Amino acid sequence: MTAVDASVFEGSFWRDPYPAYERLRTQAPVREVALPRGGTTWLVTRYDDVRAAFTDPRLVKDHRATLPPELREQAPRLPGPFGSMMVLLDPPDHTRLRRLVSRAFTARRTAELRPRIEVLAAGLLDALPATEPVDLLAGYAVPLPMAVICELLGVPDTDRDAFGTWSRALVDDHDDVDQQQATTGLAEYLYALVKTKRRTPDGALVSALVEVSDAGDQLSTEEVVAMGVLLLIAGHETTANLIGNAVLGVATDAALRGHLLADPQRIPAAVEEFLRWDGPVHNAPMRFAAEDVEYSGTTIPAGSVVTLSVGAANRDPGRFDRPELLDPDRDTGGHLAFGHGIHFCLGAPLARLEGEVALRSLLDRFPGLRLAVPPEGLRHRRSVIVHALEALPVVLRP
């Protein structure tokens, strides 16, 4: 039995995880690795394995499915809203929630947000100093998706500051106690919001989730609250770092910037390539092996934690030619930045739209923007899930 690899999540990994992923993909494509905050996970890194594993019913989200049947029923669900979050559930619970939410969170609802996202982006850019260094993450990439989620859910303007405070604690704070408090605060707020929307529907998503029904089935208040918290967690930090990583790309790659300025119609294709090349989520949220599972000749024992590395898969030369090159003209079809299978990202159309509007608005207004520090001076977060900058200092109009 091979020992746990304790050398993956450390050192230069946070800045550039791709050399470690390449080593794993070629030498140990299915490997048990130590996590930075304790514990281990099996990391799957080859494109074909990751894609197949996303649709493997033996890899489950609900840890209770790994227990013997006699213990399963007594095992507690996760506390509070987490117990009803569909990203942590398997069929048939997941199927039911996903079907109901899909009826309310439609492609049309997303497309209708475009003019609002443009106004929100312009408002944020208006407020930034143009000629001195500014952190574009804190001033633009982070607040834009937050404002969009408030808009989507129907959180009134007057509540947005409080909502923003809990959400930031939830996604930024790495202290479990603060996260717990933020989750409770947010859940209580959403309970009250659901009550209000039951009395006075407004057509926004919380209202629609309250009203949606499928063959007589409806979401309970608790399920609407859980969905609200999930949309916030899943849709905020991810999109913020898509924008952050993409802006870093255009700020440092003059040819790419020229290409996009000459033909802004190519921005959506560039966003897609940013998702493949350095997507914000490099490892999908964990799964559990309900039984022994074999990939690339290695057996993952039943009961293990399993992580599907979409960052590694998207740089697999077996799937993408010269994967290390950022090439907006390449065929990005099949990239796994939004996952695959039944949990495929529900917000992918919204994330793409936000990424496009954010880049377009920024380049339109500040075509000459530049990094305010040398690239080596940038710092990255120590997160196994998101590949994210700590800050992105730029000068918008040098």
Binding site for ligand HEM (CB under 6 A): 86-87, 98, 230-231, 234-235, 238-239, 242, 279-281, 284-285, 310, 337-339, 343, 345-347, 350-351
Range list of β-strands (E), the chain: 30-34, 40-44, 59-60, 134-135, 213-214, 217-218, 287-289, 293-295, 298-300, 305-308, 370-371, 393-395
Measuring CA to CA, how many Å separate 383 from each of 42, 64, 390?
Answer: 17, 26, 11
Please say which residue, 53 or 394, places its beta carbon nearer to ligand HEM.
53
How far apart are alpha carbons 24 and 3 in whole angstroms? Answer: 14
Please say which residue, 224 or 395, places its beta carbon nearer to ligand HEM.
224
* Closest distance to ligand HEM from the beta carbon of 374 (Å): 27
Question: By beta-carbon distance, which residue lies closest to ligand HEM?
Answer: 347
Please say which residue, 166 or 372, places its beta carbon nearer to ligand HEM.
166
Nearest to residue 51, comparing CAs of 346, 334, 349, 385? 334
In sequence order, the 6+-apart residues with CB closer than 8 A to the CB of 33 are 4, 5, 6, 8, 9, 40, 41, 42, 43
DSSP H or E segment with residue 26:
helix 18-27
* Closest distance to ligand HEM from the beta carbon of 63 (Å): 14
DSSP H or E segment with residue 378:
none
Measuring CA to CA, how many Å separate 47 from each of 15, 30, 184, 276?
Answer: 22, 12, 38, 12
How far apart are alpha carbons 380 and 374 in whole angstroms? Answer: 14
* Closest distance to ligand HEM from the beta carbon of 178 (Å): 23
* Closest distance to ligand HEM from the beta carbon of 395 (Å): 26
- DSSP structure class, residue 31: E
Nearest to residue 42, comparing CAs of 77, 96, 5, 17? 5
* Closest distance to ligand HEM from the beta carbon of 18 (Å): 17
* Closest distance to ligand HEM from the beta carbon of 353 (Å): 9
Question: How does 18-32 read in b/e, with b if 16+ C-beta sit within 10 Å?
Answer: bebbbbbbeebbbbb
* Closest distance to ligand HEM from the beta carbon of 133 (Å): 26
Please say which residue, 32 or 237, places its beta carbon nearer to ligand HEM.
237
* Closest distance to ligand HEM from the beta carbon of 148 (Å): 8
